[in-house]
Homo-oligomer: A and B are copies of this chain.
C-alpha cells in the first residue's frame, strides 16, 4: 500500500509503463522485467505496491473501462443507451486496452484465477445493464431484465470481437440494433 508521496508516484509510473506496454507489445509482451525496466523501478518496489503482475494489468484495464463509464459514481442515472454507447466507445476507441480485455477473457477459458476476475466484472456489468433496463421499463421483472442484459452483453462482446478483428466493421450501427428503442427495417416475426 502506498502511503507516501513517492510511493504513489511510483505506482503511477508502473501503471503508466504497464499501459504503454499493453498497447505496444500486447499481453504476452508484458513481463515483470519489461514493466520494471520501463518504469525504472526494482522488482521489490513493484511488489511493495502490487500483489502480482496481473494485479497491475487488471488495474490498467479497470481504469480504461472506468474512463468511459457514463456513471462512474454509481448514482443510477445511466440509461441503456448510455451503457451501450460506453461499451462501443471502449471497444472502438483508440485505446488498445479493449483488445487486451478480450484476450484476458480468452485466457480465462483455461486459467481459473483469471476466469473469476473476468466473471466478476462481467456479472457487475450485467447487473448494471439489468438495472438500466428495469429503470426504463419498471414493469419488467428482475429475472427478465437480467436475462436480457446477458444477451445484450453477449452480443456486445461478440460484436466487439468482430470489430477488433475487422476494422471496417461498423460496431456502433450493429450495437444500436440491440436497443429496445430501435425501430429498424422490417422483418415480421415468424410465428
Contacts and interface: CB of A to CB of B under 8 A. Distances in A.
Contact of A161 (B158, B182, B190): B158
Interface in A90-146: 99, 102-103, 105-111, 115, 118-119, 122, 133, 136-137, 139-141, 144
Contact of A190 (B157, B164, B184): B184
A33 B10 CA distance: 40
A69 interface: no
Interface residues of A, number: 60
Given A122-B165, A158-B156, A177-B147, A137 B187 contact: yes
B188 A110 contact: no
B110 A102 contact: no
A55 interface: no
Contact of A155 (B25, B109, B158, B164): B158
A44 interface: no
Most chain B CB atoms below 10 A, which of A107, A136, A150, A164: A150
Contact of A189 (B111, B174, B181): B181
A186 interface: yes
Given A109-B164, A151-B155, A180 B188 contact: yes
23 contacts: A26-B110, A28-B107, A29-B110, A103-B106, A103-B109, A105-B106, A106-B107, A122-B162, A151-B174, A151-B177, A151-B178, A154-B159, A154-B174, A155-B178, A157-B161, A158-B158, A158-B159, A181-B189, A181-B190, A183-B190, A185-B190, A186-B191, A189-B189
